[in-house]
Amino acid sequence: MKQHDKTLSEQYRDFVDRRTDEARLSCLAFDRKNRRHISTLACRNISTTSQLIAALPELPANLKDFALWWFMVTRERRAETTLLAMLKSDNDRRLMCAAALSSIGGSRSRREFVRIGQRELAAANPDRHLLDVVIQGLKMCIGETAEIDELLLTIYERVDLPGWLRGDAGDALGCCSRIMDRRTTDFRRAWTTARNGLFDNDIEVKFWSMYVVMQLANTFDSRRSNAIFADALPQLRKIAKTDHRLAPGFWWPMSAEAEDAMYVIKHGQGRDNDAGMRWLGNTERGPMIRD
């Protein structure tokens, strides 16, 4: 039987079987909940992927959320058309649709996200939540085209946009090979924005700017000079000494992130025992504000 002919229950069993024993044990409650969703769908005569796609727009909220997560996991290309329609019609689930479409990676989706992003950036009053959808939709496509990279770099640069939005764009840019090439204008733009971001009052801009600095300075070759990043060191030292707020959404402080950034500038690569590892036992998370 081909994968796309299997029932949802069979596909989920295969999904669980691919996990390690440890992962299966840690996800027991999560899997029970998802299997209940699959059973509920079966009671509605929805037991295959094709049936789930057809029924998706009319499902109740909990089943719709499960389906969007499932398409994100399975990267089911047949769902792209329905998800693109939901992106426009279901405002409450735009981000989940964008995440699923990003995982699927269809060309129509990329074009739509670029179109929305360019339209909003050209507007007098950009819709910040639509731009958030664009970042979510394109973050797994970073580096595929200059158009995508330019869009995310522009969002990161735009000081008129909210800090959380610029931070999300900086997060995505950390995987962009185009800005790593020190011969390019894109590198200079990213470096200038990140250096300025270290002084920003917004914690998310500051945090993700430290991350961008680390990515730009990560040469994987200790013989290559990182002298260009010396301008960032005084402010990084200040953050490391004085800013002990928890990083937004994470369990380590801003000061620890600054320490890691200075290490990368000095050594050209990240340390094995990074901030996340050093603070692994901390159960608190830094607040994230999405206004």
Q: CA-CA distance, 158 to 219, in Å (whole number)?
A: 27
Number of Cβ within 10 Å of residue 106's Cβ equals: 17
Q: What is the pTM of this model?
A: 0.90
Residue 268 Ramachandran class (φ > 0 left, ψ -120 to 50 alpha, else beta):
left
- pLDDT (tens digit, 9 = 90+) per residue, 168-190? 999 999 888 889 989 999 999 99
Angle, alpha carbons 260-261-262 (nearest 5°): 90
Of 239, 188, 238, 196, residue with least CA distance to 216: 188
- pLDDT (tens digit, 9 = 90+) per residue, 188-211? 999 999 999 999 999 999 999 999
